[in-house]
Structure formats: C-alpha cells, structure tokens
Amino acid sequence: MKKFYSVLSVLALAAMMCSCVSTKKIVYFQGADSLYQQAQQVMQQYEMKLKPADVFSQDVVMGTSGGGRSGSGSYLNSSGSGNMSNAYAYTITNDGYVVLPSIGKVSVAGLTTVDAAKVIEERITEVNHISDPDVTVMLLNARVAVLGAVKSPRVVNLTSERNTVLDILSQCGDIADTGLRQKIKLFREVNGERMMYEMDLTKSDVFNSPAYYVQQNDLIYVEPNKSQSIKSSAFCIIVKPSHVAKALLFLFLFFCKRHEQFLEDGWQVLLVIDGFEPHYNVNQEVEDKQADNYSQYHNV
C-alpha cells in the first residue's frame, strides 16, 4: 500500500503544478509601486488629429458685418440665412480638404478639432466679412476595432478625443484569461503608412508608449496563448495536462476507500502519466502478504 499512496501523492503534486499560473503573467503595471512613490510627469498630452475620410460636424455662432450675433448653425444655407437649428456633417477628402458652403475648400487634415475650427473661422471672416464667427468642430465617426483574446471583441465608438488603450480594453470586458498581456499589438495608419506598436501591460512603462493614447481607426489585437491558438484551429481536439492530472487524481481518491476490495480481487493498477507506463501488480502483493502471514503464524 505504500506504493499506492506514493502514486497518489505524485498525482496530487502534478495536478497542483499544472493548475498554477505565475502572477507575473497576469498582474498589470508591475514595478509601479516603486516607480510612483513620487509623482511622475505625464510625458505626452494627446489630442486626436483629423484624417482623410473622417466625418465631422461644425456648429457656427456668427456675428454680422453690422454687429450683433445671430443664432447657431450653418452660417450660410441656400436661402442665405444665418439661422439653422442643426449643424452639418462634412467628410474630409483623400487629399485632406473639406468643402464648406460659401467658403469652398479648407485644408484640415493633420489639425486638431480646435485648430480646424480656428482655420474655418478665419476663412469665414475672410470670405464673408464676418467679424466674430465662433466655430465648433466635433469628430463624429471616431472608432477603434479590438480583436483577439478579449472577453468581448468589438468596434468601440470613441466618445471623447482623449482615450487610452486601457479605456478601450475596459469597454471590451478586459483581456480574457487566455490572452497574453505582454503582447498587445496596435496597428495605426500614419501619413499613408501602416505602423505597428507592441505593448506589455504587465510593465509600468506602458504609460510612456506612443500607442498608449489611441487614435481614430486604430486596430488593437490581443495575442492568445499557445493552448488557445491550438484549440481554435480546425480539426483539433486538445486535452490540457491539468485536466488529465485532475481526472486521475479524482479516480484514485474515489477508489481509495475501496483498495481492500481491489486487493482481494487482484486488480491491476495501471498509471499512465505523460507516456510513462509503470505497472503495479496488486495480485503479486496479495500473494506476498499471504505468504508473510503464513510464515509468522507457523513460525517458519
């Protein structure tokens, strides 16, 4: 029976080893306790900049050449009125321009919404001789796509112009248990070129990454671990080592109280652990034990 309980101990140890995951792989911002004992200066102040294919609205509160101010809305519509209850939406062309009523083409690509509003104000003043227009520009179609090992992959619509990669992942339910927090990839189009940034969320220096603040049309991909990658492949059935160890451990615990019956029946116990097949002949142990008892009883 000593062999029996030795095997049981090995199985219990194997189950625990297979079930444990190092906290270094799942804890965010490691090293932040020491790094942020004193306040750290924010290295980057981020504002989104307008790009081709962006759609934005403009709302204009304008004065007139004769003084005073009119209502808000489009400064010139088809009837020439300065009172429109709604702002219009405009799409930036591939060459970075937007065509606005009465003032024509205005180059806005590469500008923040605040800077674009100032440029439009200057053009309104120049073309229509309006002394004090007040323009507000708002980006309408800003969004970020999130794929990979997150709990809820989706396209996230941005509700403000300052969003971090953590904000986006939070809206997707955080990274799944199968996701690698050390391998977060962000793809971004910059001046007609596609760039890739890689971030490690387990390190505290992620706040200094150029991809920490997202931009419109970014793509975030969370790489899954190897077991999830194999599991997701076609025509593949995978059994995790931890599940095998736990199943074997459960069987031995279930039959532990009945080992005497096994000995009487002379069952063969076979252990198969990762391809190693030791055989334990229970029937032989019964015969040896009976021989020892006979010798002691008859003083042989």
- Rounded Cα distance, 15 and 10, in Å: 9
For CATH 3.10.560.10, list the domain ranges present in the chain: 31-44+142-224
Structure confidence at residue 252 (pLDDT): 63
With 80 as the cut, is the pLDDT of residue 43 above it? no
3-class secondary structure, 151: coil
pLDDT digits (tens, 9 = 90+) for 52-99: 999 999 888 866 554 444 434 444 443 333 433 345 789 999 999 999
The encoded tokens of residue 146 equal 């999130």
- CA angle 226–219–164, rounded 5-degree value: 100
pTM: 0.65
Please state whether beta strands 88-91 and 55-63 pair in parallel, antiparallel, or not at all (unpaired).
antiparallel
Which residue, chain included where needed, has tokens 């323009």?
Answer: 135
Asked if 214 and 168 touch (Cβ cutoff 8 Å), the reply is yes
Residue 9 phi/psi, 5-degree rounding, is -65, -40
For CATH 3.30.1950, list the domain ranges present in the chain: 55-139
Per CATH, the homologous superfamily of domain 31-44+142-224 is Outer membrane lipoprotein wza domain like (3.10.560.10)
Q: Of 1.10.287, 3.40.50, 3.30.1950, 1.10.3470, which CATH number belongs to 55-139?
A: 3.30.1950
Which residue, chain included where needed, has tokens 């009837």?
Answer: 79
User: Which of 300, 240, 244, 299 is CA-nearest to residue 276?
Assistant: 244
